[in-house]
Structure formats: C-alpha cells, structure tokens
Amino acid sequence: MRGMSAKSALIVAPLLLAGCQPSEPSGDDASRAAAPDTLDDVAASNAPDDAPDDTIVKKSIIRAEVDTGPAEAPPLEPAQITVPFPARGDPDAAGLALVDGLIAGPAFKAGGPITIWGHSDSRGSDADNLAASRRRAEALRAYLEGKGVARGRITVIPLGESRPVAPNRKLDGSDDPEGRAKNRRVDIRVDLPSDRPTPSADRRTARPE
C-alpha cells in the first residue's frame, strides 16, 4: 500500500478482511446443510454422544408385507330359485335370466342332482292344473338340456295347485290375480353331489380340535 495515506489504509483493511471470511449459507442452502441426508444420520443424531457406532439402531421406511395365507373358500351350499310363469306360455326373459344365473353358480357346476317342481294356480280342474304344472316344469327341463345339462341329472315333479305360496282368492271370495300369479311358478333346486357332504353334515361330524 505504498503511497496510500494512513487514513485510506484504515478504510480498506476491514474490507479486505471481510472478503476473506467464508460466506454463511442462506435460504434453502441453509436448510439442506442443517438437515441429515439419510435415516442413518437421523439415528446417529438421536444417539447419545458416548454411544458406540454399532449400538445405533437403523430404521427402515420399507414395510414388510404381511403374509396372511390363502383365503379360505366359502362352503358350497345347495341353490334354489323360483321362476314365475304367465298364465299361458313359457317364462319371459327375466325368468330365463334367473335360470342362467343358477347355471353359472358353483352349486350347479358341482354336478349335483336337479329337482324341478311345477306349480299352478287354482283356476281350472285339478287334472288341468296338474297338467299345466307339468308343462311348466318340463319347459325348464328342456331349457337346461339345451344348455348341455344331462337329462338323467334332472327330476321333474308336477304339483298342480297343491302348494300355493299366496291366496288364489281374497277373503270376500273374489278372485286374487296377484296371488294366482305368484302360484304359477316353477321351483328349481340344485343339491350337492352325493359324494360331497352337505354343510349341515359337516357341522354334525366335525370334531373339536
């Protein structure tokens, strides 16, 4: 600083010293500097100062999958549906959809015996009603056979008007159309194969462990 006055030297010297000092981190740089890089650093920062390195527990953010094993299949049960019939003719599309749903079920696919009960309302003679119930049951047997079901697997039982589920007449003796419509029906039941015990038999023969 030759040729510089003493007063100027006093001004310049502090500025030179400030330029030599390391700069302080600011903003995000300061946050990153203060934050640990890994979970290992977090564990190390929480450990006592005098703890040896091998005592620091390292935690993982990865959760082990819990193996609960295969889900147990529900027990196979017999299945039954009721298909409504019009006064004359075959069942409508909704009735046949019920039969299709039965065919797609596990009980049907198990290959057990099928029983079809035909029913009628009380209008007409006993003989006519019995014949009508037989025609309805046989119509659904033919439908199942058309789906590939063996005829020997199916039993048809016509019951005529003997098993009503609703009144055919009201209390004043007048006709009950809604009740008669409910009685014109076919019940289809699919039982389990004879070599498979029913759920109730399983419960009776089960032994405590």
Pairing relationship of beta strands 185-190 and 79-84 according to DSSP bridges: antiparallel
Q: Indicate whether this model's pTM tops 0.85.
A: no
**Sheet containing strand 185-190, strands side by side:** 79-84, 185-190, 114-118, 154-158
CA-CA-CA-CA dihedral for 101, 103, 105, 106, to nearest 10: 180
Q: What is the DSSP letter of 175?
A: B
Specify the pLDDT at position 180: 97
Q: In order of start, what are the domains of the chain with their CATH numbers?
A: 79-201 (3.30.1330.60)
Distance CA 198, CA 22 (A): 85
CA-CA-CA-CA dihedral for 146, 147, 153, 156, to nearest 10: -50
Specify the pLDDT at position 34: 53
Q: How many CB atoms lie within 10 A of CB 102?
A: 19
Specify the pLDDT at position 195: 74
Q: 1 Cβ partners below 8 Å, 6+ apart?
A: 8, 9, 12
Specify the pLDDT at position 139: 97
Q: For the chain, 209 residues long, give each residue's pLDDT as a single digit of tens.
A: 455 555 555 555 555 555 555 555 555 555 554 555 554 554 555 555 555 555 555 555 656 566 566 677 788 999 999 999 999 999 999 999 999 999 999 999 999 999 999 999 999 999 999 999 999 999 999 999 999 999 999 999 999 999 999 999 999 999 999 999 999 999 999 999 987 655 554 444 444 33
Among residues 52, 56, 99, the alpha carbon closest in space to that of 80 is found at 99
Specify the pLDDT at position 207: 40
Specify the pLDDT at position 203: 45
Distance CA 100, CA 19 (A): 89
Specify the pLDDT at position 72: 76
**CB-based burial label for 116 (10 Å; 0-12, 13-18, 19+):** buried
